[in-house]
Amino acid sequence: MRDMINHIVFGWYPYLCLTVFLLGSLVRFDREQYTWRSGSSQLLRRKQLTWGSNLFHVGILLIFAGHLVGLLTPIWVFDTLGISHTFKQWMAIGIGGVAGVACFVGITLLVHRRLFDARIRTTSSFGDIAILLILYAQLILGLGTIYVSLHHLDGHEMVKFMTWAQGILTLQPGVSALIADVHPIFKAHLFLGMTIFLLFPFTRLVHIWSAPVWYLGRRGYQVVRTRRPMIPAE
């Protein structure tokens, strides 16, 4: 029974989350872009919003990039570059820890601002508050994994997660067994992370797809004004 639950959660569930994430984002991007916002509250507690938003976004981008590179880079690449598993583990703890603390401070400011200011709370939907608290919980779990990782500095546990993540993306069967015996905090962190991907298309997280990178592919244009006098309409 334990093995079956592990296989469902870490063998089947990732594909459900990725499918909903990709198809849901595509449909919403195509049909409902004007819903990618919450009620405006930028003029309320603006200083707290600025600090919280900047710290949160910088921290979360570093964390996401670290997870993306750390989990999806083939192990042989690190071996070729002479990067040992122990060094990679320390690098993940160091960089991830600093980014995590910055992100934690930022999201704490955002949660406090949204929940403890009556005017802001009034303009917030259930989805706005729920996804913020889910991200908060996920970040706390992530910071908690640092303490556990300090007891596995040989990097062996990290290799398990790398092999699992790459196996999921390459459709390798049975990879869920790789993390059957890892520490529960890692399992909770993985499960909640996958759940965030599942909820992604139904929350304001989809505003990520509105990053202004689309302008890089547009052709330039120039506004030209005429010197001819305008003839008033009769």
Instruction: Write 124-129 long-range contacts (CB < 8 A, 24+).
Output: 124/38, 124/39, 124/41, 125/38, 125/39, 127/202, 127/203, 127/204, 128/38, 128/203, 128/204
CA distance 183 to 194: 17
131 and 56 Cβ atoms separated by less than 8 Å = no
Please state, for a pLDDT cut of 70, what percent of the chain lies above it. 84
14 and 178 Cβ atoms separated by less than 8 Å = no
Tokens of 54: 């900047």
Whole-Å CA distances, 147 to 190, 198, 209: 16, 28, 33
pLDDT digits 0-9 by tens, 96-154: 999 999 999 999 999 999 898 888 888 888 888 999 999 999 999 999 999 999 988 88
Buried b (16+ CB within 10 A) or exposed e, 169-184: eeeeeebbebbeebbe
pLDDT at 234: 54
Number of H helices, E strands in the chain: 9, 0
pLDDT digits 0-9 by tens, 40-81: 555 567 788 899 999 999 999 999 999 999 999 999 999 999
pTM here is 0.84
146 and 96 Cβ atoms separated by less than 8 Å = yes
Cα 209 from chain centre: 12
Cα 229 from chain centre: 55
